[in-house]
Structure 1
Amino acid sequence: MKKFKYIFLFISIILLNSCNDKEITVLEKTNFNENWFFTNSENLDDNNYLQTVNFSDWDSITLPHTPKIEPKIVNNQWQGISWYAKTFLLSDEMKNKKLFLNFEGAMNIAEVWINNKKLIKHQGGYLPFTVDFTDDAIFDKENTIHVKLNNKDNPITGPKPLKTLDFNTYGGIYRNVWLVAKNKLYITEPILENKIANGGIFVTFPEVSNEKAVINIKTHIKNETGKTASLLIRNTLIDNGKEVISVNTKNYDLDSKSNQQIATNLNVQQPKLWSPKSPNLYDLKTEIIQNGQIIDSEITRIGIKTMKFVGQDFYLNGEKTFLRGINRHQEYPYVGYALSDNANYRDAKKIKDAGFDYVRLSHYPQSTSFMNACDALGLVTIDAILGWQYFSEDKDFQNHVFKTARDLIRRDRNHASVIAWEVSLNESWMPEPFIDKLTKIAKEEYPTDQCFTAGWQSYGYDIYLQARQHRLKHYDADLKKPYNVSEYGDWEYYAMNAGLNQDDWSGLLQQERSSRQLRSAGERALLQQATNIQEAHNDNLNTPAFADGYWVMYDYNRGYADDLEASGIMDVFRIPKPAYYFYQSQRDAKDPFGKPMVYIANNWRKNSSLNIRIFSNCEEVELFLNGESLGRKKPTINTVSNNLNHPPFTFELPKYVAGKLEAKGFLNDKIVANYTVNSPEKASKIKIEFDLSGREIDENNNDLIFVYANIMDENETLITDVVDKIKFELTGNAQLIGENPVNIEAGIATILLKTNKNTQNIEIKAKTIDANLASSSKIK
């Protein structure tokens, strides 16, 4: 039998130093990701699995988890039945407490048994669900949990069948699970409570200015103590560890087996407002006080902001704002959706670093860790329910959609990053009564003037998500409501029909005109992608759209196709293409998240274009070849750059001369940035890099890190035409995931490193198969 550990739940002792509160034990949520068992099988019925006490034939795994490690290009994604199980002990301190298990995401139909008793069947893989197992917990021996998952096509949960779907949905318990223990007078969980605009903690901002903000906090309390409880609620606003203001409510008497939502206001002077340039966040501590004791306590991360539309213009905190954005799918190669929290943060960090202030969450609710990262980094989000080219008249389907709209808002309503709710089935024609119901739900669940709905049909929604790639004329001058160019830059350069019928491939343009270019496609193809993006983004700025979103940030799998969808400005391994730097150049150098930058988009070799394109946010750029100046220029203004914040620079060279191209960027006549490209020489070494993107390896949980083996010459120039493979070797308590040996693509071979809380002193070795090149590097 494989070795496993019992889970012991630790008790946090909170010593309170205000209001003469007494010391009390408060039981907090505990990460429940470790020591699970897993199997894929459809040969046994439920009773056989539930009677399993010997898991020797099951895999020992840690969450997040995917049921199958997929190839880089996924043609036949695994679908079927999988089982997860875990044994755990509960301490005596847990007796007489409320006990919950919170699943952040499990694909797609989840059934949960505790100690062989079925407690829940949950439909849908993108939103959380909570299991109350208070009455079924055992304290004198092991508890056992079984989870059965079914990720086959489902007509109720949608979207359309995987074989024709334009993205993959993968499987597994692919997000965190938490064990939560509370006293029986407690703050509830909003999705479990299933009350309109209620449950848990709900924070709104009825008044916001630079001088003053009013924070309205609604706290839903439930009393299951068996007797009337006298209590008050204390809310404390904390800024970087310092108390800003603390307010107690009056005393309330709450009868046994009853619940109540209690509202209070905090008046904050000179608040720090949240915006993409200044993503200021506060911690709001909400406590139930009874007889001077803290009975329950929760921390909510909030950002104070106010939004409004004037005509078609968007105002954030009173300032007219344009949001340059991107769309994102949440998949990683090989592991599908089973990302670590840090991996989600790194994805968000790359989006911010690329020059974006907005991300459309396509086309489903994404992880809480990604939402948290958007809050912290200042990435505005449009938060979406699941939907893509699938609608059914079936009432069960429609009711499920309505439920997901409510659950999405209940989960994410306190996130500072959310500006609108995409309660719309993307690219799925919906009848008007159906739209009316969805928009009504949003207004019910977020009943303030800060609730905006968004949808891809113009009817009914506050914001029209008008995708230019779905029509030849993407801008309707008669449209008077706010609109967002939700997708652009891909499909309109890919298919002649420029419509929604993606099953008809008869009108495809030539490959060299497409924005779908792998990073290995070469200089000409990657510059064409950048040209398409520049032209489309520049044209968007001719319209009164308040935001636009390029399709897409990262290359991704479509399942039905035998290749990657390659319109990403970074590839599937999160390596940038030249278009990444075009967007980065559109952020002002003086922006709090910007800096002076210059980037030469060309390679410099015999077959390189002599038309040198440079992306920069500087006022002028000077180009040098082998130390000799080729001139100093201002940006090139033409019909595809006249609306840009920072048009590219172009230099036309008479001939190729091997050596060093160097671009220097000037602001106020001073050199503030430079970038160098060297003609490649003979490959002579491997440089190993680890993609941490602002987050060190998580020492307490599983983590996922891309490892890059770069083939370099002696000048540290990437050699992009090497045809070879890299064999990776690992020393230490971790795991390599992916093809190994792996093909070198445009000079880089990539593999995933999965670490855990016991990971230390990791060493990666990389060696070419054919050439005699090798290297090693330590990460921890």
Structure 2
Amino acid sequence: MMSERIYLNDDWKFAEQFEASMTEAAYDDSTMQNVRIPHTCKETPLHYFDEHCYQMISGYRRVIEAEKAWEGKKILLTIDGAAHDSEVFLNGEKVGEHHCGYTAFTMDISGVLRYGEKNILVVKVDSREDLNIPPFGYVIDYMTYGGIYRDVYLDIKNKDYIEDIFIRTNIGQMDDQNAELISEVTVQRTQEGLFLKQSLKNKKTGEYQPLGESEISGTSMQLSYLVENVILWELEHPELYEVKTELICDGKLMDERIDRIGFRRAEFKKDGFYLNGKKIKLRGLNRHQSYPYAGYAMPKSMQQLDADILKRELGVNAVRTSHYPQSHYFIERCDEIGLLVFTEIPGWQHIGDAAWKDQAVENVRDMVKQYRNHTSIILWGVRINESQDDDAFYRRTNEAAHEFDDSRSTGGVRANRKSSLLEDVYTYNDFVHDGKAKGCEPKKNVTSDMEKPYLISEYNGHMYPTKTFDWEEHRAEHALRHANVLDAVAAEEDIAGCFGWCMFDYNTHKDFGSGDRICYHGVMDMFRNPKLAAAVYACQQEKEPVLELSSSMDIGEHPGCNRGETYIFTNADKVRMYKNDRFIKEYSAADSPYTHLKHGPILIDDFIGDALQEEHMKPGQEAGVKKALNAFTRFGFAKLPKSIYATGIWLILRYHMNMEEAVRLYNKYIGDWGGTSTTYRFEAVMVDVSTRQERVVKTIIKEPMTERKISAVADHENLIDAESYDVAEVRIQAQDEHGNILPFYNEPLTFETEGPIEIIGPKTVALQGGMGGAYVKSKRLQPGEKQNAALIIRDCDTEIKIGFTVQSERNI
């Protein structure tokens, strides 16, 4: 046997209260709960709960049956994430401890394991928030949860093995397809005559091609090879390669490791960010790693889905993992789809004592060493988020990052202008925009060094919390604020980009949010249903057609029944507007006041079109009436621009119009009062550049609803039960007959399951803003077994059934 990885995610026993006697073989664990990893120590309600419920010292217990054949090998136990302070015991003996809830830790248990016998593994996990480790110290604007929430596994290796590899690429001139592949390799060795052999292959095609072989002198060495004809890792074509490193002695393979990398050059310069020599404006969102009910405990499929949502639904090109390192499954997916990552150490505003700082520096080392082979990561965050300056402390964190990775820039998120700058990039939370103020500060107003790069790490968020069930004008204002900042940043040539706060709503402590333990700062809700603001981001990508409207076109949703400003959100070339099947106007991107965004929101300025021709007015009179009526639509009588009063006086004097006539025209062409219901239709049109042919890619119809339906869509229906359970996300929406969300439908739904699946969280929920969701979790099957399952969703008069298959791919 060369090396083997065995996942230990199944067959755990759990208790909310740790007892020292749990470490003993004779301990009666029959009353402990059977759980699988990832696991949260306490499932929580969606909102309105006391965060103390997950703060506990809990215990996990498991039997490891160590094979006799393992004796003489190196046995390494890794816990990829346990929140937040952990002690690990094997057969009653303490074998490791870890003081960070967001990085992995590995223990050598070779000398304690009893081979050919059953061994008792126990993990004591402290999830209390008064620990003297980051991020704790003061209250925190996010819940920190608890439990062993990432994978646990054993690596069975020979005594001579590859301990670590850091792989870097050095890209030459952009017209030169050659690159240097540099590997810093650390080995554990017991003998002489060891060789390292490396080979490379494109992940998509081809076989491994040999790079070279070198004899090891000592325990670490650097390998460097020239690679010809490489395909660069780009945002839209994120080409990945596999580097195979083999440890060989006397022709025998002792260990092997495969690392996935991309050839790319990521540079922050004083005028922005460059990828492979091309300037790119970073357009991103912040992401927490939390989910409804389960906290941090979600498996691979859900981690990957969030990356897909960011890239493919929201159309961003970057993400900040606020405020801690996140799942490798999430970052790996970013590698695969071309999503740039800014990751940072745990922390939120508070800096603790000397021991606390020492742990923070250790967190930097762990973060960099554990994540540095991810191609998508472009920036290390080495400051505590929004903390005050502490030069001595931050000199240490900055140096620690560069010690273990000198190929990437460092940054540190602060909320202060002209702060002490020890890092490579000045990263700043810019909340200057309040709906009226400018979208962002210019770089010169903020940074303490104009020669260094500058990046906006947060904006909006707490400045305008928005719920899916807020009234229409509030939801529209939320979307426009995001557009305002994106447009302003796009206009600043020396700002590298910006990260909006944030991807989705999240649970938070009592001191923050809306009092119900939720921060409604997201452009999506907690179930990843989009708010209107999500469309602002989605419009900036080109692959999926987007067409959204800021209004339901129901006049009673607005004060005084004046529509106010209605915006179109689209990435199409044109949008055609119809009223009761009469063409009103065609809009294009050039009509948007957001001149620096490729696809900015477009203001609807005409609700009449040529309809006034029915009145047989003279051209001047028709134009004046149209201007006045459209103004009434937007502003109402009380806020009419002065120019409209002048137009009205002109119409009275020139054409002898009166108030009675004006009211009649308003009611007929604008007011929609009491007559036949009005139908609005919007068509998004794409134009073929070569043929000039036009095609409608998306249509929206707005009219009074006559039919309600429940839509439920699972992100995937084939659940794979392998190293752990699988989870599918089901997004649920109440819609009218045209697929429009019914934002004030907040009725209850019930869930029922058939077959080997279960619901995470309650089986009765209420929609919020006409939207909600469910998470379906696979149950454990026998190896190779496959079964059908179903989720049944019911409201007062509807039943939906979603079919699933559950397939076990666990090893026997």
Question: Normalization by structure 1: what TM-score?
Answer: 0.86
Q: Following TM superposition, by how much is the alpha carbon of 1:712 offset from its aligned partner in structure 2, in angstroms?
A: 4.0
Q: In the TM superposition, what whole-angstrom CA distance separates every residue of 1:152-171 from its partner, at most 9, and x where no partner exists? A: 12453122447x21001100
Q: 1:311 to 1:115 in 2, by over 3 A?
A: same
Q: Which one has the largest radius of gyration?
A: 2
Structure 2: distance between partners of 1:207 and 1:681: 58
Q: Which amino acid aligns with 2:719?
A: I
Q: 1:680 to 1:348 in 2, by over 3 A?
A: farther
Shift of 1:382: 1.0
State the partner residue of 1:557. Answer: 507
Which residue pairs with 1:245 in the alignment?
Answer: 209
Deviation at 1:613, TM superposition (A): 1.6
Q: 1:289/1:413 Cα in 2 relative to 1: closer, same or farther (>3 Å)?
A: same
Check the 8 A contact 2:592/2:603 in 1, yes or no.
no
Q: Secondary structure at the match of 2:316?
A: coil
Please tell me whether residue 533 in structure 1 is matched to residue 482 in structure 2.
yes
Pairwise CA distance, 1:599? 2.6
SS at match of 1:69: coil
Shift of the 470–646 alpha-carbon distance from structure 1 to 2, 3 Å rule, reads: closer
Over 3 Å counting, the alpha-carbon distance change for 1:175 and 1:537 in structure 2 is: same
Aligned pairs for 1:644-683 within 5 A: 644-651=597-604, 652-653=606-607, 654-656=670-672, 657-667=677-687, 668=689, 669=692, 670-671=694-695, 673-683=697-707
CA contact (8 A) 1:598 1:665 kept: no
- Residue 10 of structure 1: aligned partner: none
* CA distance in structure 1 between the partners assigned to 2:255 and 2:506 by the alignment: 43
Amino acid at match of 1:760: Q
Whether 2:567 is the aligned partner of 1:613: answer yes
> Deviation digits for residues 393-421 of structure 1, max 9, x if unmatched?
x2211111111111110001111011111
Which deviates more, 410-419 or 308-317? 308-317
Cα distance in 2, alignment partners of residues 250 and 721 from structure 1: 68
2:32 aligned to 58, 72, 80, which one?
58
Q: Is the 8 A contact 2:22 2:122 kept in 1?
A: no
Counterpart among 359, 363, 366 of residue 326 in structure 2:
366
- Asked if residue 763 in structure 1 is aligned to residue 809 in structure 2, the reply is no
Distance 2:577 2:591 in 1: 18
Aligned partner of 1:585 in structure 2 is: 539
For the residues of structure 2 that align with 1:247 and 1:717, how far apart are their CA atoms?
56
Counterparts in 2 of 1:165 and 1:454: CA distance versus 1, 3 Å: closer
Task: Determine the structure 2 residue equivalent to 1:312.
Answer: 271
2:14 matched to which residue of 1? Answer: 38
The verdict on how the C-alpha distance between 1:83 and 1:719 changes in structure 2, with shifts beyond 3 A counting, is: same
Following the alignment from structure 1 to structure 2, what is the Cα–Cα distance between the partners of residues 549 and 135?
48
Residue 466 of structure 2 corresponds to which residue in structure 1? Answer: 517
Taking the aligned partners of 2:380 and 2:798, their CA distance within structure 1 comes to 52
Contact 2:23 2:90 in 1 (8 A): no
Aligned to 2:424: 462
1:574 and 1:139 map into 2 onto residues whose CA distance is 47
1:636–1:648 Cα contact (<8 Å) kept:
no
Alignment of 1:599-638 (within 5 A): 599-607=548-556, 609=563, 611-635=565-589
Which residue number in structure 1 is paired with residue 665 of structure 2?
Answer: none
Aligned residues: 701
1:241-640 superposed matches below 5 A: 241-243=205-207, 245-252=209-216, 259-353=218-312, 354-392=314-352, 394-448=353-407, 450-456=408-414, 457-469=419-431, 474-477=441-444, 479=447, 480=450, 481-491=452-462, 494=463, 514=464, 516-543=465-492, 544-560=494-510, 561=512, 562-563=515-516, 564-587=518-541, 589=542, 594-607=543-556, 609=563, 611-635=565-589
Counterpart residue type for residue 697 of structure 1:
L
The code of the aligned residue for 1:380 comes to: L
Shift of the 581–723 alpha-carbon distance from structure 1 to 2, 3 Å rule, reads: closer
Q: 1:28 deviation in Å? A: 1.7
Amino acid corresponding to residue 620 of structure 1 in structure 2 = K
Paired residues of 2:489 and 2:498 also in contact (CA < 8 A): yes
Higher share in helix: 2
8 Å contact from structure 1 (residues 635, 650) kept in 2: no
In structure 1, C-alpha distance between the alignment counterparts of 2:466 and 2:705, rounded to whole Å: 25
Answer yes or no: is the 8 Å Cα contact 2:573–2:684 preserved in 1.
Answer: no
Structure 1 stretches of 5 or more lacking a match?
1-24, 189-199, 495-513
1:166 to 2:141 alignment: yes
- More off after superposition, 119-128 vs 736-745: 736-745
Q: What is the aligned counterpart of 1:741 among 764, 767, 777?
A: 764
Q: Which moved more, 1:531-540 or 1:367-376?
A: 531-540
Shift of 1:431: 1.4
Aligned with 1:582: secondary structure?
helix
Distance 1:311 1:688 in 2: 47
Q: Deviations over 1:718-770 (max 9, x none)?
A: 433334211111111121122331112232342221114537312111222xx
Matched to 1:221, the amino acid is V
* 2-structure distance, mates of 1:243, 1:463: 40
* Alignment pair present for 1:776 and 2:743: no
- The equivalent residue for 2:751 is 728
- Contact 1:74–1:557 (Cα < 8 Å) also in 2: no
Q: Secondary structure at the match of 1:760?
A: strand
Superposed displacement of residue 83, structure 1: 0.3
Q: Quick one: which amino acid aligns to residue 371 of structure 1? A: I
Tell me what 1:17 maps to. Answer: none
Contact 2:103 2:325 survives alignment (8 Å): yes
- Structure 2 gaps of 5+ residues are 558-562, 608-669, 806-812
Question: Residues 81 and 214 (structure 1 numbering): CA distance in 2 closer, same or farther, change over 3 Å?
Answer: same
Separation in structure 2 between the aligned mates of residue 235 and residue 53 of structure 1, nearest angstrom: 50
Deviates more, 1:647-656 or 1:354-363: 647-656
Pick closer, same or farther for the CA change 1:442–1:535 going to 2, 3 Å. Answer: same
Identify the range of structure 1 (230-239 vs 622-631) with the bigger mean alpha-carbon deviation: 230-239
Quickly say closer, same or farther: Cα 1:400–1:156, change in 2 above 3 A.
Answer: same
Distance 1:535 1:234 in 2: 50
- 1:48–1:740 Cα change, 3 Å: closer
* Code of the aligned partner of 1:671: R
Give % identity. Answer: 26
Other structure's SS at 1:541 match? helix
| Cα 1:55–1:523 shift into 2, 3 Å | same
Change (3 A) 1:412 1:723: closer
Instruction: State the TM-score, normalized to the length of structure 2.
Output: 0.82
1:180 to 155, 176, 182: 155
CA contact (8 A) 1:247 1:266 kept: yes
3-state SS in 2 of match to 1:698? strand
Aligned-residue CA RMSD (Å): 2.3
CA contact (8 A) 1:232 1:290 kept: no
